[in-house]
A and B are shown apart, each in its own frame.
Chain A
Amino acid sequence: MGKKKKSALQVILEDAGIEFDGEVETDTESEEDEVKDKKTNKQPPRETGKTSRLQSKRQEKDKEDKEDKEDKEEDESKEEDNGSQQNRACRRKNYQRRNRDGKKAREEESQKKDRGKTAPTKDQKDSENKEKKTTKRGKEGKKDRKNSTSSASSNSSDEESLSEEELAMLKEQVEQKKKLISTMRNKPWRMVKKLSVLREAQDFVEKFEGALGKGKGKKLYAYKMMMAKKWVKFKRDFENFKTQCIPWEMKIKEVESHFGSSVASYFIFLRWMYGVNLVLFALIFGLVIIPEVLMGMPYGSLPRKTVPRAEQETAMDFSVLWDFEGYIKYSALFYGYYNNQRTIGWLKYRLPMAYFTVGISVFGYSLMVVIRSMARNANESTADGDDNNFIFSWKMFTSWDYLIGNPETADNKFASITTSFKESIVDEQESNKDENIHLRRFLRVLANVLIICCLCGSGYLIYFVVKRSQTFSKMQNVGWYERNEVEIVMSLLGMFCPPLFETIAALENYHPRIGLKWQLGRIFALFLGNLYTFLLALMDDVNEKLAEEDVVKNITHWTLLGHHNSSAGNASAVTPPPLDPADVPRGPCWETTVGIEFVRLTVSDILVTYITILVGDFIRACFVRFVNYCWCWDLEAGFPSYAEFDISGNVLGLVFNQGMIWMGSFYAPGLVGINVLRLLTSMYFQCWAVMSSNVPHARVFKASKSNNFYMGLLLLILFLSLLPVAYTIMSLPPSFDCGPFSGKKRMYDVIQETIELDFPLFVAKIFSYVANPGLIIPAILLMVLTIYYLNAVSKAYQRANAELKKKMQMQREEEKNKRNNKASTNPMLQDLEDLLTPSTKTESPPKQAEDKKTESLNGSSPVRKPGRGEVLAGSPMASGRGAAFTPPSQAFVTQPRTLGVRAPYPGQPRPWGHPLGPVPGRGRGQPCYPPWAAR
């Protein structure tokens, strides 16, 4: 942009026949220029808003400019030596400016006269354009100066004779612009400035990108550029689409603003979990259940797909279905329904194989996702402040949670901040209080003993109940309670133990964030104990069933044989009527039993959770709210009060539920579907419950990094739930008459079978080699060694880090001592200064703001000048900015062309042809070179 303006000016001046004799400038004049520049900066509060409307006009103008410029360029392009040409152009221009400024200072003439004088030979229209441009240019004086040389060079770059280095320069510039565009959002500039700089940069890139590939492969280059642009656009659209697909954003935001980030972290976790489960659901449904339903043998064709005769009477009763017996038990939701046919349907879909691999990949995918998100979280929180240097500063500047938007939460937050300040003041005043510590230690030990007792008690209770249920299951006519005793007891424990723990934890008096972790750990232990007791009991059950199976197997065999014999004996001509599948005696099918157990547990867990929320939160809230009018004490403030949202309990409930899903999904493929429903409903239900009937925590605290804690728990659970499944797959024989693996010794035999039958021989050979313990053990060893090595490396890095930290600390101390008057040379700080200057009547186009700033810096102290020059030349930021003002012909878009006419400052003598400020060539550094030349 500078190019156009300058060249236009030069044309004017040349036309006017003004002689350029330099060296007559004085510093005072340049100072004057600066002042004037500033004044004009303040002028145009309106114009920027109209830029877009004026854009078309401007483009016309640009065309005219180009013509002018070309005259001028012809002169310049005759120069052989590039560098000298640039220098000269630069100097000449400066002289021109000086000259004119000086003149202006001397004469007090009207704008029109001036114009008439400077551009006598041009026709009227042209000169009018120029006038506008020159006023504009006054405002941009500084920038012009900075980039004058670069503009000269790109003047010539417009022409056909592009030298190699110019091309390289241009390329670099374009790259810089591109970088600027991509990092625009990180710049601490005003939006108006950002927008216009962005527009300039885009125009520049658009203009010169095409020129770059001139000659060789221009088309290819243009095509590549176009594709790149399209790709960027597509990526952005895709991002937009992706964020639109994230559900419940507003809901969570609302909760967050009411209850702070810790409660919201639960809901975000819930949403994440929902996403994971959706993927698992798609996997299982798409690859197992739907193929089976579509292509497998229909219901009733096989014994395993038919309800036994004895149960058919009641198979449709709701009470039976509710227990997942009857028709549900013999449906594709459970393991037993699947046939062991190698391939099904016309697709020859290998269902047993698919079943096995899906079962494995459920775990694989979950592991991957959990670990990946943990790693991401860990990356985000690398800069954790472990040094305690800034206790008060951090409290002062980071304790307010800007998310809070609810008066009550805000009140709590204010109170908690005040307390925390008071606490740290007290800590500061007397750092150790001995008499309290003993009591506190005693209380903490006591609390832990109590909690361990609770845990043992609950473990024993579950074991007892499970044992009892095994005796019940052998009896006939057991009631509803006896059948569901295990689930009820487990749910009750899960309901009452956490509050009990919380009460006990009150003894310990931890900070709530630490307290939350303890609480989580304890409930985790409780649930884990319960779960494993349950599993052990289940294993007992399975072993019993396995023993029973052997007996049934014989019976079935003989029954079938007998049936065949009898029918064969009747008439050899008639094919025997097959035995009705409902009548075939069958084994207990322990896999389905296990699956049913898990489904029941999940469903009862869902119900208990919802009922707890309804009764414990909603009814309680209603009671407190309405009975309060006629009660003898204040219910809201006193005993029952409203419930707080129980983060730890809810998170753990979710984690354990997921553990059960992982364990059960192998034996009950439909379980994931149930879980997806559960998560979906609980999202809405809990959001409603928390907003309607809970109060914010008394001590609101932030959930910083708790996400990774949840993830850690999840990973642990995932691992623990992997164990039993892997055990059953690897070491228990599958049932003989149900499930996709029936008839095989072990479930994993399906892999071997596939490899032997479906792959060429050498694959089987390779596989057998790979499966050889001789290879596996070294592989494991290698992995262990790698882990050891990586661990050592990371330790070394940590040490180096600590060392560096120490060094920095020392340096800081040193600096603290000696530094007192060092000026801020950081470009970031310059931007900051820009922002911090209490902006004068602004809406000035951003470039002007920039001018103003740099000018004020330059003018402020002579000492600082050289340093400033260096920064400009050296720092990437400065050069990037410099590049932003280099010379695309239509880049001067932000300024409406009517500006000069409006000339809004009556007090100013000469708005026209505004002074151009100090010459960059003299008195400061060597900025006459293009910005890249300094590097």
Chain B
Amino acid sequence: MGNKQTIFTDEQLDAYQDCTFFTRKEILRLHGRYYEMAPNVVPMDYTKDPDVKLPMQLIINMPELKENPFKERIVESFSEDGEGSLSFNDFVDMFSVLSEMAPRELKAIYAFKIYDFNTDNFICKADLEKTLNKLTREELTAEEITLVCEKVIEEADMDGDGKLGFADFENMISKAPDFLSTFHIRI
């Protein structure tokens, strides 16, 4: 903790605390995690807001994400260029949204983004199939997959356009009992 002043200024820490659900210590810890992924690229001193990005390959190998079937999507959703490289800001953003304290609405937005594989602002059948394949490691037969996808669309699609818009998704996810407890990563 003695070196915290050299990593961030107090104003930066305060600003991060205003913008995320983290405490000062957690932000420093996040920086530590970010730093240790690529010690020779990431500077220890963040007071000058250096422009550093880490590629997706590094990020998805974090133990927190490694086993997650959606890790690529998560990282892509939070990266500003949409290609998976995360600056420290994006990195903090990601874990803030996935933290325990984040409200359901915020989580829902990002969850929607994560499950929207082709980024067309709708979760369509192709997205659902991809999700399902990732969840089950492609152990379901083609018929089963089609059936499940159809059921999902039938359950959650309110406006009848054959795909899930954000309103549909939010409506569905806001009632899910487990969403908050599962859509969260501790760091």
Contact = CB atoms under 8 A, between A and B. Distances in A.
B182 A198 contact: no
Contact of A392 (B148, B173, B174): B148
23 contacts: A51-B49, A52-B48, A53-B48, A184-B19, A186-B105, A198-B18, A257-B186, A383-B104, A385-B177, A390-B172, A396-B128, A396-B148, A397-B172, A398-B176, A398-B179, A400-B69, A401-B181, A418-B137, A421-B132, A812-B171, A836-B121, A841-B81, A842-B81
Given A253-B186, A392-B155, A403-B184, A199 B176 contact: no
B5 interface: no
Interface stretch (A755-763, A814-822, A866-874): A814-822
Contact of B182 (A399, A820, A831, A842): A399
A185 interface: yes
Given A46-B51, A257-B64, A422-B144, A397 B176 contact: yes
Contact of A428 (B14, B98, B151): B151
A243 B19 contact: no
B19 A385 contact: no
Given A403-B185, A418-B139, A396 B132 contact: yes
Given A397-B111, A836-B116, A843-B80, A425 B106 contact: no
B38 interface: no
B182 A398 contact: yes
Nearest to A408: B67
A53 B50 CA distance: 11
A428 B150 CA distance: 12
**Looking at B68, B167, B174, B186, which has the most chain A CB atoms within 10 Å of its CB?**
B186
Contacts, number: 231
A582 B109 CA distance: 77
A738 B96 CA distance: 59
A181 B70 CA distance: 32
The dominant DSSP class at the B interface is helix
Contacts of B20: 185, 191
B72 interface: no
Given A190-B80, A194-B19, A239-B23, A389 B155 contact: yes
Interface in A17-57: 46, 48-53
Contacts of B186: 253, 256-257, 403
Contact of A199 (B15, B21, B115, B121): B15
Q: Which 9 A-B pairs have the closest CB atoms?
A: A191-B89, A410-B67, A385-B175, A49-B51, A191-B93, A392-B151, A194-B19, A418-B136, A842-B80
Contacts of A239: 23
Contacts of A832: 109, 112-113, 121, 166
A390 B172 CA distance: 7
A236 B17 contact: yes
A387 B174 CA distance: 12
Nearest to B25: A244
Contacts of A383: 104, 174-175, 177
Interface of A: 46, 48-53, 181-182, 184-188, 190-192, 194-195, 198-199, 233, 236, 239-240, 243-244, 253, 256-257, 261, 381, 383-385, 387, 389-394, 396-407, 409-410, 414, 417-418, 421-422, 425, 428, 702, 704-705, 812, 815-817, 819-820, 822, 824, 826, 828-829, 831-833, 835-836, 838-839, 841-843
Contact of A402 (B47, B115, B139, B183): B183
Interface of B: 14-21, 23-26, 47-51, 63-64, 66-70, 80-82, 89-90, 92-93, 96, 98, 102-106, 109-113, 115-116, 119, 121, 128, 131-132, 135-137, 139-140, 144, 147-148, 151-152, 155-156, 158-161, 165-167, 169, 171-179, 181-187
Contacts of B92: 191
A383 B179 CA distance: 11
B113 A417 contact: no
Given A190-B93, A418-B137, A820-B161, A385 B176 contact: yes
B96 to A, nearest CB: 7
B82 A838 contact: yes
Given A400-B70, A425-B144, A414 B136 contact: yes
Contacts of B64: 257, 405
Nearest to B109: A188
B159 A819 contact: yes
B175 A387 contact: yes
A185 B21 contact: yes
**Looking at B26, B96, B139, B169, which has the most chain A CB atoms within 10 Å of its CB?**
B139
A794 to B, nearest CB: 21
Given A400-B182, A826-B167, 11 more contacts: A184-B19, A194-B93, A385-B176, A391-B151, A397-B111, A398-B173, A404-B67, A414-B69, A702-B181, A832-B112, A832-B113
Contact of A390 (B24, B50, B156): B156
B178 A394 contact: yes
**Looking at B19, B80, B137, which has the most chain A CB atoms within 10 Å of its CB?**
B19
A734 B111 CA distance: 64
Given A49-B50, A190-B90, A381-B177, A421 B116 contact: no
Nearest to A387: B175
Contacts of B89: 190-192, 195
Contacts of A390: 155-156, 172, 175-176
Contact of A839 (B18, B81, B155, B165): B81
A725 B108 CA distance: 50
Nearest to A191: B89
B6 to A, nearest CB: 15
Contacts of A828: 105, 109
Nearest to A394: B176
A239 B13 CA distance: 14
Contacts of A185: 18-21, 96
A222 to B, nearest CB: 21
A831 B176 contact: no
A398 B116 contact: no
**Looking at B18, B26, B161, which has the most chain A CB atoms within 10 Å of its CB?**
B18
